Amino acid sequence: MSVSVQAEDFDLGVEVAAMTSGNPDIGAVVTFIGLVRDTTGGALLSMELEHYPGMTEQALSQIEQAATKRWSLNASRVIHRYGNLQTGAQIMMVATASAHRSDAFEAAEFLMDYLKTDAPFWKKEHFKEGGEWVASKAADDAAKDRWSS
Amino acid sequence: MSVSVQAEDFDLGVEVAAMTSGNPDIGAVVTFIGLVRDTTGGALLSMELEHYPGMTEQALSQIEQAATKRWSLNASRVIHRYGNLQTGAQIMMVATASAHRSDAFEAAEFLMDYLKTDAPFWKKEHFKEGGEWVASKAADDAAKDRWSS
Amino acid sequence: MQLDVLYFAWVRERIGLAKEQVTTDAQTVADLVKELSVREERYQAAFQDMTVVKVAIDQTMVSLDAPLKGAREVAFFPPMTGG
Amino acid sequence: MQLDVLYFAWVRERIGLAKEQVTTDAQTVADLVKELSVREERYQAAFQDMTVVKVAIDQTMVSLDAPLKGAREVAFFPPMTGG
């Protein structure tokens, strides 16, 4: 179980290998990667990620602990970047490892849904004409709420 | 959209990078990896994977096409190994790339559920005392059936 | 009619071979199973419980009552356990 | 009471700073918002619609009516958009 908030990029293969190495109980690993997407067909210059240092790490750890309590996980990993990122760059990843695929899948989705609404990150898209803060989505609240039922 | 059935190992990071590179519409990538699990606490010598050449590739391609029809995917990748694998070795992976995480997650779960029941692979666990074919699970049929409702 | 008949996993092990050519007048998969089962005990051992044996004709899954007409390749195997 | 008050994203941009020390007798977050809003227009611009502003006290999310007693750090920011 481990959380990193960093400016640097990460290597998915290396992270997954580190999670699973030497643990013969792991049968399933699910990962999610978020990438900087250009929805304008080429006008995006970059995406800036702001966060709340201190609270971010705490929020991510709490979300990870909640997932670990709810599903049978052998390991989990959350990495979220901040700073100025180019189109196609990796923004963040979550990875979950378990004996069985259903635990790994559900826990990864849970981590993502809570991370979206509870981890203090904000995205700003930079265009030639200026910057624009990405609006939060009602769908993200709905996605999180499904875990409470 | 691409399927490989191979004896060789694969590199998750390389596969994902190849899938997403140069496609600015991709915002979300979900991957699943299956690993050889030792449920005996050390008695497993190896796991043998047998398959039905020809039918395997066809079945995997059909499953991938069904996923592509049902969800909005920018790319997908399925790799499944055969032969004799050690504890901890990678058995297979699926990866799905989409603009949004819900498509990527659902399509990856769908691919896994159908692959489990419809792709002609069989696992045999080898122990000191001999080999044992892994039994299919009723849970796998149930997991697949949820997509028909 | 001449068919390539393939066996996989424990079906293959019980029958003792992976592939054979079979000349048969069987109309359906079920007829072929009956014909092979009376032929030798090892087929009977493999086919004794057909609820745990799956069948593909020309690499497409079919049910036991599927007709063999036009088939070139028939395969028998246990439920899949990949992934 | 002296508080560190932090602003993020467009709340930070409207107020024009990321962090300040505020001396206040406000009992709740809502009182503090009111106090700042009458102080200067830029606060009013940031806090005009508090349904789109979230609050954390000492790095834990709270509601607008949360008491400030014992607080050291209060943060205002828009709904999160990470991931």
DSSP string, C49-69: -GGG-EEEETTEEE-TT-B-T
Token pair, residue B107, equals 């399509």
Calculate the average pLDDT of chain B.
96
Inter-chain touch A34–B27, beta carbons under 8 Å: yes
pLDDT band at residue A117 using 50, 70 and 90 as cut-offs: very high
Q: Taking Cα atoms as reference points, which of A50, A59, A38, A44 lies closest to residue A7? A: A50
Calculate the average pLDDT of chain A.
96
User: How many domains, chain A?
Assistant: 1
Residues of A with CB under 8 A from a CB of B: 11-14, 16, 20-38, 42, 44, 87-88, 99, 101-102, 104-105, 108-109, 112, 143
Q: Is D17 on the interface with A (CB under 8 A)?
A: no
Q: Which domains does chain C have, with CATH numbers?
A: 2-77 (3.10.20.30)
Query: Residue D63: its pLDDT value, please?
Result: 97
pLDDT per position as a tens digit, C52-83:
999 999 999 999 999 999 999 999 999 999 99
SS3 of residue D65 by DSSP = coil
Residues of C in contact with B51 (CB under 8 A): 82
Of C8, C61, C79, the CB nearest to B136: C79
Structure ipTM over 0.90, yes or no:
yes
Handedness of CA B5, B7, B12, B17 (dihedral sign): negative
Query: Residue B138: its pLDDT value, please?
Result: 86
Count CB neighbours of B88 within 10 A.
Answer: 15
pLDDT per position as a tens digit, B80-133:
999 999 999 999 999 999 999 999 999 999 999 999 999 999 999 999 999 999
Q: Domain range spanning residue B47?
A: 2-148
| Cα–Cα separations (whole angstroms), residue B106 to A103, B29, B70, B147 | 14, 11, 10, 10
Q: How many residues would you count in chain B?
A: 149
The domain spanning residue A115 has which CATH number?
3.90.1170.40
Query: Residue A139: its pLDDT value, please?
Result: 87
Query: Residue B119: its pLDDT value, please?
Result: 97
Residues of B in contact with C83 (CB under 8 A): 34, 91-92, 112, 115-116, 119, 121
Mean pLDDT of A81-106: 98
